[in-house]
A and B are shown apart, each in its own frame.
Chain A
Amino acid sequence: MTNHWIDIKNSDCILVMGSNAAENHPISFKYVNEAMAHGATLISVDPRFTRTSARADIYAPLRSGTDIAFLGGMIKYILDNDLYHAEYVADYTNASFIVGKAYKFKNGLFAGYDAKKRKYDKSRWAFAKDGTGVPQMDRSLKHKRSVFQLMKKHYRRYNIKLVSQITGTPEADLRKIYKTYAATGKRGKAATIMYAMGWTQHTTGVQNIRAMAIIQLLLGNMGVAGGGVNALRGESNVQGSTDHCLLWHIWPGYLATPSTKWPKLQDYLKRRPQSKDPLSANWWQNEPKYMVSILKSLFGDNASAANDFGYDWVPKVDAGTHYSWLDLFDEMYKGTFKGFFAWGQNPACSGANAGKNRKAFEKLDWMVNVNLFGNETGSFWKAPGVDPAKIKTEVFMLPAAVSVEKEGSITNSGRWMQWRYQGPKPMGDSRPDGDIIMELGHKIIELYKKEGGTFTQPLTNLKWDYLTAGQYDPHKVAKQINGYFLKDVTLKGKTYRKGSLVPSFAFLQADGSTSSGNWLYCNSYTEKGNMAARRSHKDAVNGIGLYPQFAWCWPVNRRIIYNRASVDVTGQPWDHKDWVIRFVGEAKAGKYVSKKWIGDVPDGGWYPLRNPDGSARADAKHPFIMRPHGHAQIFGPGRADGPLPEHYEPLECPVERNFMNPQYINPTAPVYKADTDAFATCDPRFPYVATTYRVVEHWQTGVMTRPQSWLMEAQPQVFVEMSEQLAKLRGIKNGQRVKVSSARGALEATAIVTKRLQPFRISGTTVHQVGIPWHFGWRWPQSGAEESANLLTPAVGDPNTRIPETKAFMVNVTRT
């Protein structure tokens, strides 16, 4: 979340789309309800009427996988009716940037497409630059190759009639929602989006969110209270694990994973674009400090300038090779590798095309299953239809302690790092993950030291000093994540002693004099103590629910990021009631003469762009400091599938063509080609659109909830929700067991026949959609009849993230 949970209460209009917050983020409704008590409007857009829809002022259905058409229509509506925040758009976004002449968009394809490689040459989308490399701009937004005009032209096609034809959303609903949401383009009004996997798990996942980001920028809703683009994370600590390197392509703090593209440290350190614009902070230019500090945290005294701080010892990904979830299971299925740690996960049920994953396990020599309980992954060798005698894979089970049995931190969706203490002691032989990792690591290092091997330095040079009395010590790890001064360092006249904790990332150095395991968390555990353990209920001076001394928030305790866009160019808030920051420096003769911001921690403490008399300042910075040129990206030339979001059909869809453009599906979507990767689009054998989701009573694959009798009482079986019309068509009665099948697999489910699903009218024809929760698996309940919905879902992904498209695919439903 760019904002945070409590901040939802400050919103004037809440759009829940691509998520079902009432069910899957139930506590968020404390703040949704609070906003509504103050007059906010709640909008729910979902293929089916959900528990969120039940609370909404406006509900509208849309066919799974058509979100960009829906949102593109809103962009057009905002532009056509001049509802955008003109000053914000001109001053803070790249709407004013001039795009180079090589850019074009035709027949659903952007310039530079290579059909053979299914890839774009992104250099064709570059901005036109002046002699110093700064993008040419036209703040009047009139230049015909300005981003603003190109965007206008791009979305001209997204008229309400066509959008309705694609999405199945009635035209009247589209108009009502566009009007309500776009009304927050006014100064002092804010709208927020609450989204989750309903937006990300598509072949157009990243562009779904880009489309919404464009809307939020047009309306001036980024950086303000009650606004933002808010990803509701699916687990209490997904944000934390992502921050600390959950994904293959990013290191802690969103540093790029070293690659063969950058064989030497110097190659890595100089890869970030520089900006010659004196008004651009271009914060990533500090990356060398963060990279060297993380290497120092890994290798300690073994890392020095002479050996590139151990850069040669860290693994490099092969340039052009992907190592995402889908790729790993594809390779495992091919037998490319022999061993697998399934740590805190259940890919036999959680992964797209789960049947492929189950087959892939058979190719392994060994699997280590680290989990609270046994699950379908560790038990794959005795699954129904599998002959244990024929399985060569040796499975080891390491029982792990549950979160309340150990001390440490979690970072929630709102980026709040919260320290938590140990409650009960771990049961039996179960152990905290930290202890398991430490012992495993130390044993491996010991073996390498004793027996040698190829390239032992990465392990033998590790600085692993996280034990206290032989046990994993979460405080030692948290302090290392924050970082230390490694020698006496004098900065701005103040000396920081060797061994003391670094106060914040502004103090990190690229010369090896500091360490930090994650620059974004530098400031979380300082000489003042463990910031995440704070529990003050005192609000900040603006009284908008920031609670700055409750827990700690990255970066540097900034509760709302991009907050320097919440003020005008003179530093005064757009919204005088729910303001986030405010410049209160002294002014003399129309010029600011001293610097002071109050409220939230500002996104950089520089002077505002202009003085009270309107004169420009040379010592100011543009507000979007993480972008090379300081402006938010309406035009995003870095994405794999285009600089502006465009509607493409899901890989499996019910229509014969894309009504928006002649390009059927996302031309860059990665498709896998194992024999189990069957796809069936517009195929009479699988005529119904399907999506998967969660319910409030269960969690993920249900490993923690299916053995819980009270939760099973409430939600005992896999179900498939369908409209009364579809049930009639298929002769299915409410509560009856049915078979749901796709090109990849099938499962049994109980039919819930309901008015909450309605058939769509898609370009004059009737399209039915069904939905299935994915919480189940054969191990429990004991009947073995409740299986994972991921047996149905396709292993096809978004080209940027390679997240699977589990939210839009095709199935059949038949009586058993």
Chain B
Amino acid sequence: MDTTIFIDTTLCTACRGCQVACKQWHDLPAEKTVNRGTYQNPADLSFNTYKLVRMSEQMVDGKLHWLFFPDQCRHCLEPPCRDTADDARAIFTDDATGAVIYTANTRNLDAAEVIESCPYDVPRRSADGTLAKCDLCYDRVQNGLAPACVKVCGTGAMNFGARKDMLSLAEKRLKTVQAKFPNAALLDPGDVRVIYLVAHDPGLYHKNAVAAVRSPVHMTRKMALRQMLRPFNRKAVRFPV
């Protein structure tokens, strides 16, 4: 099934059920954290944290907004990390779900190069160089279950299903939300399998909310070609484009 997650941040209360459910399903250890003067914790994604609710206090038109952004791998339709790795034993796209999967063989890759290639700054490396990130719970999905983060979400912010259904849900919600927030947008909907709906300028949520222009040091011919064909430097687009 061609699957997609649709994250409606306008319904998110930052309860972080998704963040914890992700750790539970993947049996990932907690990080030792301290309160750094914010609710957001851990500070960033890591080898043991695939999903992180980012929280940001922003003034928009003189009004305070507390913006929540459940950050994770976008599972690009044409993943630059996969193309950078160019090794299907390390990084591949799961045909059954569309999930971009990292294996233990990622430790043989040039980790910095793979991380650098990600337009959303998602993959993280362990001490031995193995890379990790969200796997779309493809084991759950292949067994007919929703990803853990979607299953646990109580507010309707996290949605999962066939790509065409999610695109149409995203479009419908965008229209509704735009009535209240004219600058609302879907983030890179044509390029990724994890589509966000945001109410404000995506940069206010997180610097990598939309695809950044990255300048890979090493670029394969295949990648260069893709970059030419599918530039990732577009601004947030309103769907449908």
**A interface, CB within 8 angstroms of B:** 22-23, 26-27, 29-30, 33-34, 37, 49, 51-55, 57, 59, 695-697, 709-717, 719, 733-736, 750-756
Instruction: Say whether, besides A714-B41, A735-B37, A756-B57, A30 and B13 are in contact (CB < 8 Å).
Output: no
Residues of A within 8 A of B15 (CB): 22-23, 26, 51, 696
Residues of B within 8 A of A23 (CB): 13, 15
Q: Which residue of A lies closest to B48 (CB)?
A: A713
Binary contact readout B222-236 vs A (1 if CB under 8 angstroms, 0 otherwise): 000000000000000
> Is the pair A51, B66 in contact by a Cβ cutoff of 8 Å?
yes
Residues of A within 8 A of B82 (CB): none
- Interface residue B16 (Cβ < 8 Å from any Cβ of A): yes
A13 vs chain B, min Cβ distance (A): 15
What are 10 inter-chain pairs, A to B, with CB distance below 8 A? A26-B13, A33-B156, A51-B14, A710-B23, A712-B30, A713-B33, A714-B20, A733-B37, A751-B37, A756-B64
> Is the pair B64, A716 in contact by a Cβ cutoff of 8 Å?
no
Residues of A within 8 A of B13 (CB): 22-23, 26, 29, 51-52, 54-55, 696
Distance A734 CA – B37 CA, assembled complex (angstroms): 5
A681 vs chain B, min Cβ distance (A): 30
Which residues between 34 and 53 of chain B lie within 8 Å of chain A, taking CB atoms? 34-39, 41-42
Residues of B within 8 A of A755 (CB): 57, 59, 64
Instruction: Say whether, besides A711-B20, A713-B42, A49 and B34 are in contact (CB < 8 Å).
Output: no
> Is the pair A716, B37 in contact by a Cβ cutoff of 8 Å?
no
Residues of A within 8 A of B94 (CB): none
> Is the pair A27, B66 in contact by a Cβ cutoff of 8 Å?
no
Instruction: Say whether, besides A697-B16, A709-B30, A710-B20, A717 and B66 are in contact (CB < 8 Å).
Output: no
> Is the pair A54, B66 in contact by a Cβ cutoff of 8 Å?
yes
> Is the pair A752, B38 in contact by a Cβ cutoff of 8 Å?
yes
Residues of B within 8 A of A29 (CB): 11, 13, 154-155
Residues of A within 8 A of B20 (CB): 710-711, 714
Partner of B37 from A26, A34, A714, A750 at Cβ < 8 Å? A750
Q: Which residue of A lies closest to B23 (CB)?
A: A710
> Is the pair B35, A752 in contact by a Cβ cutoff of 8 Å?
yes
A718 vs chain B, min Cβ distance (A): 8
Residues of A within 8 A of B30 (CB): 709-710, 712-713
Q: SS class of chain B's interface: helix, strand, loop or mixed?
A: loop
B200 vs chain A, min Cβ distance (A): 12
- Interface residue B65 (Cβ < 8 Å from any Cβ of A): yes
Instruction: Say whether, besides A709-B29, A710-B24, A753 and B66 are in contact (CB < 8 Å).
Output: no
> Is the pair A716, B33 in contact by a Cβ cutoff of 8 Å?
yes
Distance A198 CA – B66 CA, assembled complex (angstroms): 21
Residues of B within 8 A of A51 (CB): 13-15, 66
A405 vs chain B, min Cβ distance (A): 19
Distance A55 CA – B36 CA, assembled complex (angstroms): 24
A232 vs chain B, min Cβ distance (A): 14
The 4 closest A-B pairs by CB, nearest first: A735-B37, A734-B37, A709-B30, A713-B30
- Interface residue B130 (Cβ < 8 Å from any Cβ of A): no
A194 vs chain B, min Cβ distance (A): 13
Apart from A696-B15, A697-B16, 16 more pairs, CB < 8 Å: A23-B13, A33-B11, A51-B13, A54-B67, A696-B13, A713-B41, A713-B42, A714-B16, A719-B35, A734-B36, A750-B35, A750-B37, A752-B38, A755-B59, A755-B64, A756-B64
> Is the pair A716, B155 in contact by a Cβ cutoff of 8 Å?
no
Residues of A within 8 A of B103 (CB): none
B64 vs chain A, min Cβ distance (A): 6
Of listed A22, A55, A756, residue having the most chain B CB within 10 A: A55
> Is the pair B64, A49 in contact by a Cβ cutoff of 8 Å?
yes
Residues of A within 8 A of B31 (CB): 713
Distance A55 CA – B66 CA, assembled complex (angstroms): 9
- Interface residue B220 (Cβ < 8 Å from any Cβ of A): no
Residues of B within 8 A of A52 (CB): 13
Binary contact readout B131-159 vs A (1 if CB under 8 angstroms, 0 otherwise): 00000000000000000000000111000
- Interface residue B17 (Cβ < 8 Å from any Cβ of A): yes
Distance A55 CA – B157 CA, assembled complex (angstroms): 12
- Interface residue B4 (Cβ < 8 Å from any Cβ of A): no
Which residues between 131 and 189 of chain B lie within 8 Å of chain A, taking CB atoms? 154-156, 176, 180
Residues of A within 8 A of B176 (CB): 37
Q: Which residue of A lies closest to B155 (CB)?
A: A29
Binary contact readout B65-81 vs A (1 if CB under 8 angstroms, 0 otherwise): 11110000000000000
Binary contact readout B60-103 vs A (1 if CB under 8 angstroms, 0 otherwise): 00001111100000000000000000000000000000000000
B88 vs chain A, min Cβ distance (A): 33
B165 vs chain A, min Cβ distance (A): 18
Partner of A753 from B17, B37, B41, B59 at Cβ < 8 Å? B37
> Is the pair A26, B154 in contact by a Cβ cutoff of 8 Å?
yes
Q: Which residue of B lies closest to A22 (CB)?
A: B13
Instruction: Say whether, besides A30-B155, A54-B68, A756-B57, A714 and B35 are in contact (CB < 8 Å).
Output: no
- Interface residue B106 (Cβ < 8 Å from any Cβ of A): no
> Is the pair B24, A752 in contact by a Cβ cutoff of 8 Å?
no
Residues of B within 8 A of A26 (CB): 13, 15, 17, 154-155
Partner of B66 from A37, A53, A712 at Cβ < 8 Å? A53
Binary contact readout B120-133 vs A (1 if CB under 8 angstroms, 0 otherwise): 00000000000000
Residues of B within 8 A of A754 (CB): 57
- Interface residue B19 (Cβ < 8 Å from any Cβ of A): yes
Residues of B within 8 A of A751 (CB): 37
Q: Which residue of B lies closest to A36 (CB)?
A: B11
Distance A711 CA – B37 CA, assembled complex (angstroms): 17
> Is the pair B156, A30 in contact by a Cβ cutoff of 8 Å?
yes
> Is the pair A717, B35 in contact by a Cβ cutoff of 8 Å?
yes
Residues of A within 8 A of B29 (CB): 709
